[in-house]
A and B are shown apart, each in its own frame.
Chain A
Amino acid sequence: EAGVAQSPRYKIIEKRQSVAFWCNPISGHATLYWYQQILGQGPKLLIQFQNNGVVDDSQLPKDRFSAERLKGVDSTLKIQPAKLEDSAVYLCASSLVGSVIEQFFGPGTRLTVL
């Protein structure tokens, strides 16, 4: 069974530029998560989807970050415009829906903002 796919793996941009990340979850997983992991810290949830609806986006900086999950499968996370403090690894995870919520993570996208 294929795991969670993410692209690109690495991205370097200058501040004020825009960037987008893509995630394809495990087949059949209705819940998709985007996390931000700053160096030396644990991952922090940015947004959680169930199918194509948003379950939780309370920690998403909505003035510059946006995410969508059209058709309830693939998802994109966008930053526009980027700031220096957005330098981090962006992780996508997916899980089944239900009382047993075991998450599976993709390899992540490492973003450097100069």
Chain B
Amino acid sequence: GIQVEQSPPDLILQEGANSTLRCNFSDSVNNLQWFHQNPWGQLINLFYIPSGTKQNGRLSATTVATERYSLLYISSSQTTDSGVYFCAVAETGNQFYFGTGTSLTVIP
């Protein structure tokens, strides 16, 4: 299956700071999603981004499919951004593979 690596594994930020999370994958993919898992375990969709750049408020994401990586940018972090961020990838019609996640803690 496709190998998905996320970095860093853990991140602690002061409220208001910016951060970049990275997702590397081992094979070409047609589907890529970023999720935020909140403290209650719910996986919240952030971006569906198999290629290109998208922005939603303080969050933005860029995927460079030819180089097999995606980046998630969080600006002006807030305590509510705390949780685990997952990247998931798939080839068309095939199963999704998740990374091991980046655990983010934002300190007030």
Contact = CB atoms under 8 A, between A and B. Distances in A.
A104 interface: yes
Contacts of A42: 4, 86, 88, 98-101
A107 B43 CA distance: 7
B81 to A, nearest CB: 19
How large, as a class, is the contact surface on chain B? 20 to 34
Given A101-B90, A102-B48, A45 B42 contact: no
A110 interface: yes
B33 interface: yes
A41 B30 CA distance: 23
B95 A41 contact: no
Contacts of B48: 100, 102
Interface in B80-108: 86, 88, 90, 92-101
A103 interface: yes
Interface of B: 4, 30-31, 33, 35, 40-43, 45, 48, 86, 88, 90, 92-101
